[in-house]
């Protein structure tokens, strides 16, 4: 047994998009234990629900995270709508699904770029983000914001997408599919990429289940868990099957996310083909009273929204269990026994969003 050394990793580190601290216990070059510490970006957004009324809080919920912002707003709105027994119009459900799937594409592309950056493939990183720009332009054109959309509202959505723009999005999806192919071919087949991902950080199916992995992390280890199969929003009307890999290593996790990009393109096209005409919002009157749990699938995994209302316009409690929080124990498991040089890739591979985790 070699001499044990502790290396502090983060909260400021070139590879980390957000601050998380890990104490890495090493024996020579091999990690034997990792002790995490979070708490650098806590903003008290859950507490803010006592000060903002339930409609204003939609905008706060959206700002929990910058990447899955739309899905935070959507999760919150679904929870409040369920408490108030509001059935939103069909068109609003489809619009929400379109924006949610576009968000998933832009989140996964961002992640692919970060992964390329983590193993030092800078041009691949640049090209991933170049493609992402087209999706951000769609967001700006349809909602007015590139990152924070502010279109989700209790009772539906606030902005409609015209038939002309939908046709344009459909065309852009075809173009994107071709461009993504160029990039994903590199991730799938390039020898230098494969040497850094294949067989690195294997998480077995049993370990993923026991440690409560969610999202692509769980699906890469062979667990078929995708909240979209529940059929919330318009997913019930779409042809959808979760993407599952069995290897459980970094390559499998990359592969799940890349296949999900193509799946999202397909889902957006399906939505555009069958989106019904009609209203986009129902008027919501009164205040919510009761409590409800909602589970939806974000790009990073399953998010749980809980809200408790007391009949006034201010809610008693909102609780968000974010996917990164659930994926930290599996991360610590994969870190055990890995080389120090692989730590950045393993940390990035769970797609960490620390702002979500701490709120």
Instruction: Enumerate helices (H) and strands (E) in the chain, giving the number of each.
Output: 12, 8
- Long-range contacts formed by 5-8: CB under 8 A, 24+ apart: 7/340
Angle at 130 between CA 239 and CA 193, to 5 degrees: 80
Q: Which of residues 61-90 bind other proteins (CB under 8 A)?
A: 63
Please say which residue, 121 or 232, places its beta carbon nearer to other proteins: 121
Q: How far apart are CA 100 and CA 341, in angstroms?
A: 35
Distance in Å, CB of 196 to other proteins, minimum = 13
Please say whether the beta carbons of 15 and 117 come within 8 A: yes
Is 314 among the residues that bind other proteins (CB under 8 A)?
no
Please say which residue, 255 or 327, places its beta carbon nearer to other proteins: 255
Provide CB contacts within 8 A for 130, sequence distance 6+. none
Please say which residue, 186 or 243, places its beta carbon nearer to other proteins: 186
Q: Which of residues 44-63 bind other proteins (CB under 8 A)?
A: 52, 56-57, 59-60, 63
Distance in Å, CB of 101 to other proteins, minimum = 20
Residue of 13, 159, 209, 317 that binds other proteins (CB under 8 A): 159
258: helix, strand or coil:
helix
Is 287 among the residues that bind other proteins (CB under 8 A)?
no
Distance in Å, CB of 52 to other proteins, minimum = 6
Q: How far apart are CA 293 and CA 297, in angstroms?
A: 14
Q: Measure CA 293 to chain center.
A: 19
Is 285 among the residues that bind other proteins (CB under 8 A)?
no
Short-list 130, 129, 127, 150, CA closest to 140: 150
Distance in Å, CB of 283 to other proteins, minimum = 13
Q: How large is the C-alpha radius of gyration of the chain?
A: 20
Please say whether the beta carbons of 49 and 41 come within 8 A: no
Is 158 among the residues that bind other proteins (CB under 8 A)?
yes
Site pattern 184..223 for other proteins (x: CB under 8 A): -xx--xxxx-x-----------------------------
Q: What are phi and psi of 73, to 5 degrees?
A: -60, -40
Short-list 252, 260, 256, CA closest to 199: 252
Is 140 among the residues that bind other proteins (CB under 8 A)?
yes
Number of residues that bind other proteins (CB under 8 A): 31
| DSSP E strand stretches across 194-352 | 289-298, 301-310, 315-321
Is 312 among the residues that bind other proteins (CB under 8 A)?
no
Q: How far apart are CA 116 and CA 128, in angstroms?
A: 9
Binding segment for other proteins (CB under 8 A), chosen from 124-132, 217-225, 242-250, 341-349, is 124-132
Is 281 among the residues that bind other proteins (CB under 8 A)?
no
Is 176 among the residues that bind other proteins (CB under 8 A)?
no
Please say which residue, 57 or 325, places its beta carbon nearer to other proteins: 57
Q: Which residues bind to other proteins, rule: CB under 8 A?
A: 52, 56-57, 59-60, 63, 121, 123-124, 127, 130, 133, 140-145, 148, 150, 158-159, 182-183, 185-186, 189-192, 194
């Amino acid at each position: 047994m070699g001499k044990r050394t502790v290396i502090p990793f983060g909260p400021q580190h070139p590879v980390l998009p957000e601050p998380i601290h890990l104490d890495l216990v090493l024996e020579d070059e091999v990690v034997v234990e990792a002790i995490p510490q979070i708490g650098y970006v806590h903003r008290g957004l859950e507490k803010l629900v006592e000060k903002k009324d339930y409609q204003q809080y939609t905008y706060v919920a959206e700002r929990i995270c910058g990447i899955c912002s739309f899905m935070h707003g959507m999760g919150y709105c679904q929870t409040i709508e369920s408490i108030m027994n509001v059935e939103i119009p069909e068109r609003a459900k489809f619009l929400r699904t379109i924006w949610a799937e576009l968000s998933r594409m832009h989140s996964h592309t961002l992640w692919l770029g970060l992964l390329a950056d983590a193993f030092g493939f800078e041009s691949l990183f640049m090209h991933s983000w170049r493609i992402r720009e087209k999706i951000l332009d769609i967001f700006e054109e349809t909602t007015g914001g590139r990152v924070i959309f502010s279109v989700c509202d209790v009772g539906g959505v606030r902005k409609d997408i015209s038939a002309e723009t939908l046709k344009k999005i459909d065309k852009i999806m075809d173009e994107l599919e071709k461009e993504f192919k160029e990039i994903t071919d590199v991730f799938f087949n390039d020898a230098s990429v494969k040497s850094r991902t294949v067989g690195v950080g294997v998480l077995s199916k049993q370990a993923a289940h026991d440690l409560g992995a969610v999202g692509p992390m769980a699906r890469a280890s062979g667990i078929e868990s995708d909240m979209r199969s529940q059929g919330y929003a318009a997913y019930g009307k779409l042809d959808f099957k979760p993407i599952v890999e069995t290897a459980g290593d970094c390559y499998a996790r990359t592969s799940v996310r890349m296949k999900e990009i193509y799946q999202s393109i397909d889902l957006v096209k399906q939505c555009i083909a069958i989106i019904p005409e009609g209203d986009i919002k129902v008027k919501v009157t009164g205040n919510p009273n009761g409590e409800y749990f909602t589970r939806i699938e974000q790009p990073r995994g399953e998010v749980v929204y809980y809200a408790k209302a007391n009949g006034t316009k201010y809610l008693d409690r909102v609780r968000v269990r974010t996917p990164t929080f659930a994926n930290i124990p599996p991360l610590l498991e994969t870190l055990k026994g890995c080389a120090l040089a692989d730590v950045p890739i393993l940390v990035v591979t769970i797609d960490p969003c620390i702002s979500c985790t701490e709120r």
